[in-house]
Amino acid sequence: MRTIRQILAATAVLACSATSHADTFKVGYIFAGPRADAGWYAAQDQGRLYVDKNSPDVQTIVAENIPETSDSERVMERMARSDVKLIFAASYGYFEKAERVAKRFPGVVFMHSGDGQVGYHVGNYFGSTEEAMYVAGIAAGLKTTTNKLGYVDAHPIPLQLRGINAFALGARSVNPKAVVQVIFLDTWKDPTKEAEAANSLIDQGVDVLAQEVDSNLTMAQVAEKRGISFIGQYYDASSIAPHAWLIGNYYNWGPMMVDIINQVKAGTWKERAILATLAGGQLQMTPYGPGVPESAKPILDKTIAEFKSGTRKLWSGPIRGQDGSVVVPAGTVLPADSVTEMNFFVEGVVGTLAK
């Protein structure tokens, strides 16, 4: 892990490495992990590379491996003092730091990648991966032979619970016997914990493994080695586990980032939350892996098309909670604020939420 001094020095080198002109528009990117994580930050960096290719008057600056502490605030402030006009703060825990720096530098726009938080001069972009995870759940429910699905997750927060519940709903829509066993790691990235959790689930009979942590790397490799199926998030990392990869989702942030840059340059940018969806194209499904049954593909194709057209509503009732009680009655849809603040497991999920 590099020190902040080293990171700032590297940032300065990156800033000077591109041709600089008086009319160059500087855009900063700050990541809590490495760009080469085959996951969350790799997808963010693909967006940055798209900006480099399609916005010749823009110079991008990157700081990676910056923890969600006061260190990130110092890096953002350093960027702001270096004439950066827009900062993509691409980690869930950066929001409060971005807010503080934005108040000190009102001429700088921030885009935080979290769960919809918006503040003064701080917009937001985040992913509604639950639609994609519902689709993945269908693939898992039709693939499993043990009816035991595993899900390794970072934190028991609404953003993550939506993905788990959507996965379970998708799986049980085609296989009512399927159950989803959940393990929370209480960290976005820890390869040792990820491997331990994955192996523990596989030892208990899980034959399809899903996850929502920063990187696909560790668990995809475990799944490949142990001969089970794997479902990825945020980035197409199928080449890491060519036999295990069942299906996954990935972000296509580039066009959105270019659009935001153009808004800032034109003075039309406003604080708002941008939701990545299958319908909007910022969220996409990876190609089907070799393990997806041929009979499942028409069902998956139809479900994806329905989400894209808006004819399928994910949180439509009837939906039962983990204890069997009705949480969404038939003929109704879970209210938006209840989705945003989700604090329950659906039927078929094996795991415990702290009270």
Residue ranges, comma separated, of all CATH 3.40.50.2300 domains in the chain are: 4-127, 129-249+286-350
Pick the CATH number of 129-249+286-350 from 3.30.365.10, 3.40.640.10, 3.40.50.1100, 3.40.50.2300: 3.40.50.2300
Token couple for 49: 């590379």
- Please list the alpha-helical segments (H only) found in 178-314: 191-203, 217-226, 254-266, 297-309
Give φ, ψ of 234 to 5 degrees: 80, -30
Give residue-wise pLDDT tens across range 45-83: 999 999 999 999 999 999 999 999 999 999 999 999 999
Specify whether the backbone of 285 is left (phi greater than 0), alpha (psi in -120 to 50) or beta.
beta
Give residue-wise pLDDT tens across range 274-329: 999 999 999 999 999 999 999 999 999 999 999 999 999 999 999 999 999 999 99
The average pLDDT across 164-171 equals 98
The single residue listed with the structure tokens 């197409």 is 236
* H or E element that contains 49: helix 40-54
Can you name the CATH fold of 4-127?
Answer: Rossmann fold (3.40.50)
Residues 275/336, Cβ–Cβ less than 8 Å? no
| pLDDT score of 20 more than 90 | no
Measured from the Cβ of residue 42, the count of other Cβ atoms closer than 10 Å reads: 25
- ∠ CA 131-231-42 to the nearest 5 degrees? 85
Whole-angstrom distance, CA of residue 48 vs CA of residue 207: 36
Whole-angstrom distance, CA of residue 179 vs CA of residue 149: 6
* Concatenated DSSP letters of 103-164: HH-TT-EEEE-SSS--BTTEEEEEE-HHHHHHHHHHHHHHH-SSSEEEEEES--SHHHHHHH
Whole-angstrom distance, CA of residue 60 vs CA of residue 49: 9
Give residue-wise pLDDT tens across range 203-251: 999 999 999 999 999 999 999 999 999 999 999 999 999 999 999 999 9
* Concatenated DSSP letters of 218-236: HHHHHHHHHT-EEEE-SS-
Give residue-wise pLDDT tens across range 75-111: 999 999 999 999 999 998 999 999 999 999 999 999 9
